[in-house]
Every structure is written in structure tokens, then in C-alpha cells.
Chain A
Amino acid sequence: MEATLRLLGQFSLTGANGLIPVDTQSARLLAALALSGRTNRAELSGLLWPEAGRARALANMRAVVWRMPEGARRLLVGSCRELSLRDEVDVDVHRLCLRRRPDGLSPAYVGLGFDLDLLSAPLLTGWYDEWVIVERERVRACQVELLQQRASAHLERGEPAAAVMDATWAVSIDPLNEAAHQLLLRSHLAEGNVNEAIRHFSDLRRLLNSELGVSPFPDTMKIMEPCLR
């Protein structure tokens, strides 16, 4: 029973025989199961129906599970108090965040196999539930981190063009992250494109000034020094 749950960008559920159509309520429940890490029915239903009372929320959740299309319901495993997704369900966000293992993952392996779309697509775009917004921030931080790690790895391997792309994407989804900007400047310079570095540096200066009223850090200036000497 293979199934893939895609939560980055737009929600989709795919089984062995192709797309499994699910209604909005089922999609919300599946996403919550995959993202919240919670299995307690009371907690889950509280997350999904924060405004309903406990009994009402639990009843709502039962009804959603009951009405869920067969293809999707088979992916759930539960008891009277617990509910979770089967381990076999492949969730894109899990793959993304697994790569963030701190224990000496080889840099060459960082984020390999992820395209820029996956590394930059916001979680469940177009969903505005409170808990999704919180998770979206967490996933975004993870994406930015991965992009930066991968850009550094590309730089170390002498692949500045690939580093420029990753760092550009990092900066575009997290514009006030100066470490990502530094990485981008270093990548431009490693590629020899002094003009791009200078152009980006002046963008960065303007951005920091207008958003935060500050100047770039001294380390950032230092990166630019050799070419402006």
C-alpha cells in the first residue's frame, strides 16, 4: 500500500493507481496527522476545530474519518483514543526535514534530489488555519537552512553557478537573513561575477536600510572588500 502525501505547494495524495481525490475536510485531517506529530484524538480535533467544544470537535473528526474516501481512510491507523498515519505513507515534508540531521551528514548529500521548487514551495499554499501558518514558518526555516547548506556544499566543491542558484532561492524566501545574503555574495564572487555581487550588495543595503534601518554587518562588508580595493 504505497501512498505519497504532498504538502509542499498544493495538497495532493497519490496512491499506486494515481491521484486519490479527497475533500477539504479529509485533506485538513491528513495534513494535521502528518504535520502536528500528535496522535491523541482530543488534541488533534482541538487543533482542527479550535472554536468548537471538545465533544463537538471529537464528533466532527469522527464524521470526517467516516466520510473519508476509502483510498485515503486505508492510510489511517487508530484506536478509540489515537489516530495516526501509517508509516508507509511517504510525506514530502518528512523527507525534507530528515535531511536536516545534525549528526555529520556528508555535505555532498545535503538536500540532494530536491529541486528548487520543493525547496521553496510554501507549505500548503492557500491554507490559512492558525496551526498551518505556524508549521509553514517552521518548514520555511528548514527550507532556507537546507538551501544554505547546499549552497555551501556547492561552493566547497567548486560549483559556484549551482551555489548562486541555491543562495538566490534562500534569499528570495527569507530576504532578511543576512547569512543567506553573504552566501550569495560569496557565490557570485566565486563565479567571478563581480558585477552581480556589487549589484546584490547594493540591493541588500537598501533592503536592510528600509526594513530595519541598519547597515550590513562588518563580515558582509569584508566579503566585498577584495573586489572593491
Chain B
Amino acid sequence: MRLQLVGRFAAFDDGDEPITVTPTGARLLALLALHRHGLTRGCVGGMLWPEKNEERATANLRSALWRLKTTRSIAIVDREPAVMCLSPEVRVDLDEICRGHAGDGVAVDRLLCDLLIGWDDPWVWPFRLRWRQTRLHAVDDRCREFVEGHAYDDAVLLARRVLAEEPLRESMLRLLVRAEMERQQTASAVHAIDDYRVRLQRELGAQVSPRMVELASALTDDIDGTLRIA
């Protein structure tokens, strides 16, 4: 069995056919996938049904488990009488991406996807926080490698793709500007900065960082210089 947590939740059997899982079953599988070492039943009940009392939560958990069993899944094992655990054979995409250095060989599309899209359960939050920083820094690193390896066209392509999803990511924008300048696409660089400045002000009411100001003024100096020479 394989679980997909990056993007929308999905479960697949060994033949890679999608498995239909009830919403509660999905939350249970995802919770255990994020806590690979196992959780006590009490803990699972408390996290999935925080508003219910323990007895009610236990009953809900029991019925969720029963329904998962009938969908022929053997994904969950009891490690100790009270501890539930995802079976070691179940593959989880997040683990597989993060095991290597995130980014190596992983498609950019995956790195632009949030974790468990559409779920607002509080127990997802810490994992979403980590995943966001892991993946966005992985794409930053990849783009920086392009710039440093003088692969400016690749850098611009990647940066534009990332900025389409994360238009206000300044660290990526600075890489774009550097690459565009190397390609001597000054107008494009200036336009990107202006666009960003306006958007940041309009959407978040915020000012660009001092680093960006510095980069922008270096750029204008450069243009002035070029103009003077011309």
C-alpha cells in the first residue's frame, strides 16, 4: 500500500490502483503516517475527535478501524496492545521525498504542493510548517545551483514557475533578478521587482526587505552606469 500526503490525500494498493477510504479512515491513516513510530489509542482518539469524550472517541475509532478492515486494507497494526502503528510495508510519499535530500530528483510540481490540501486539523500544522520550509528551500537551492552553474535560462524558467505559485517569495525573486541580469534582460528584472513591490504592499501591506532594496538600487546604478557609458 502507498499513501500520498503531498497534495491531496490518496491511498493506492500494491498494483497502484486507488483505494477508496472513508474520510475518517483517511484521517486515521494520515495521522499514523505522520507518526510512523505509533500512537496510543487514547492519543489517536484525542487527536481525531478532540471535542468528544474519551469513551465516544474510542467508539468512533473502533468503527473507523472496522470500516478500514472491510476495505481490505491491512495498513494498521497494533504494536503493543494500546499502541497503533502503520504497518512498515506501507510507503508514504512524504518520507520518501524527505529521506533523500529533498529536491534531488523530485519533480518541482511535488515541491510546490502543500501537505494534505484541504485539511485543517491542528495535528497537521507542525508537519505542514516543516514541509513548507523544506520544499521551498529545496527549490531555492535548485535555482541557486542553476545561477551559480551559469545555467541562467534554466534558472529563469524554474524561478518563474515557482513565483507563479508563490509570487511573494523574495528569496526566489532575487535569484530571478540575478539570472535575468546575467542574461542582460534588465527590463524583465526591473519589471519583476516593481511587480513584487506593488503586490507585497497591496496584499500584505508590507515593505520589501532591505536586501531587496539593496539589490534594486544596485540594479539602477548598473542601468545608470550602462546609460552613461552608452
A residues at B contact (CB < 8 Å): 9-10, 122, 125-126, 128, 161, 164-165, 168-169, 171-173, 175, 189, 191-196, 198, 203, 226-229
Contact flags B157-194 to A (C-beta < 8 A → 1, else 0):
00000000010111100100000000000000000000
Inter-subunit contact B79/A126 (CB<8 Å): yes
Inter-subunit contact A9/B137 (CB<8 Å): no
Does residue B202 face the partner (Cβ distance < 8 Å to A)? no
With A169-B130, A192-B211 already in contact, the answer to whether A126 and B168 are too (CB < 8 A) is no
Considering residues B83, B127, B133, B205, which has the most beta carbons from chain A within 10 angstroms of its beta carbon? B133
Number of A-B contacts (CB under 8 A): 78
Contact flags B27-52 to A (C-beta < 8 A → 1, else 0):
00000000101101000000000000
A203–B206 alpha-carbon span in the complex (Å): 17
List which B45-63 residues lie within 8 A (CB) of chain A: none
A196–B172 alpha-carbon span in the complex (Å): 12
Considering residues B127, B134, B169, B209, which has the most beta carbons from chain A within 10 angstroms of its beta carbon? B209
Does residue B85 face the partner (Cβ distance < 8 Å to A)? yes
- Shortest Cβ distance from A198 into B: residue: B204
Inter-subunit contact A194/B209 (CB<8 Å): yes
- Chain A contacts of B125 at CB under 8 A? 175, 203
Inter-subunit contact A194/B207 (CB<8 Å): yes
Inter-subunit contact A229/B207 (CB<8 Å): yes
Does residue B208 face the partner (Cβ distance < 8 Å to A)? yes
5 pairs of residues in contact across A and B, judged by CB atoms under 8 Å: A9-B37, A122-B37, A125-B37, A164-B133, A193-B171
Inter-subunit contact B206/A194 (CB<8 Å): yes
Inter-subunit contact A193/B129 (CB<8 Å): no
Inter-subunit contact B200/A161 (CB<8 Å): no
Inter-subunit contact A165/B126 (CB<8 Å): no
User: Which listed residue, B129, B171, B211, touches A172 by the CB 8 Å rule?
Assistant: B129
Inter-subunit contact B206/A192 (CB<8 Å): no
Q: How many residues of B contact A (CB 8 A)?
A: 33
- Chain A contacts of B133 at CB under 8 A? 164-165, 168
With A126-B79, A164-B137 already in contact, the answer to whether A171 and B206 are too (CB < 8 A) is no
- Shortest Cβ distance from B140 into A: residue: A161
User: Which listed residue, B38, B126, B130, B169, touches A193 by the CB 8 Å rule?
Assistant: B169
Inter-subunit contact A168/B129 (CB<8 Å): yes
Distance in angstroms from B210 CB to nearest chain A CB is 8
Inter-subunit contact B205/A161 (CB<8 Å): no
Contact flags B63-102 to A (C-beta < 8 A → 1, else 0):
0000000000000000110110100000000000000000
- Shortest Cβ distance from B35 into A: residue: A125
- Chain B contacts of A161 at CB under 8 A? 137, 140, 171
Does residue B10 face the partner (Cβ distance < 8 Å to A)? no
- Chain B contacts of A175 at CB under 8 A? 125-126
Distance in angstroms from A194 CB to nearest chain B CB is 5
Distance in angstroms from A132 CB to nearest chain B CB is 13
Does residue B212 face the partner (Cβ distance < 8 Å to A)? yes
- Chain A contacts of B137 at CB under 8 A? 161, 164-165
Distance in angstroms from A92 CB to nearest chain B CB is 15
Q: Which 10 A-B pairs have the closest CB atoms?
A: A125-B37, A172-B126, A195-B168, A192-B209, A192-B211, A192-B170, A126-B38, A168-B133, A126-B37, A227-B206
Distance in angstroms from A201 CB to nearest chain B CB is 10
Distance in angstroms from B83 CB to nearest chain A CB is 6
Inter-subunit contact A168/B130 (CB<8 Å): yes
- Chain A contacts of B40 at CB under 8 A? 128
- Chain A contacts of B169 at CB under 8 A? 193, 195-196
- Shortest Cβ distance from B134 into A: residue: A165
User: Which listed residue, B83, B129, B130, touches A126 by the CB 8 Å rule?
Assistant: B83
- Chain B contacts of A168 at CB under 8 A? 129-130, 133
Distance in angstroms from B187 CB to nearest chain A CB is 22
- Chain A contacts of B140 at CB under 8 A? 161
A203–B38 alpha-carbon span in the complex (Å): 28
Inter-subunit contact B209/A227 (CB<8 Å): yes
- Chain B contacts of A203 at CB under 8 A? 125, 129
- Chain B contacts of A189 at CB under 8 A? 209
A165–B130 alpha-carbon span in the complex (Å): 8
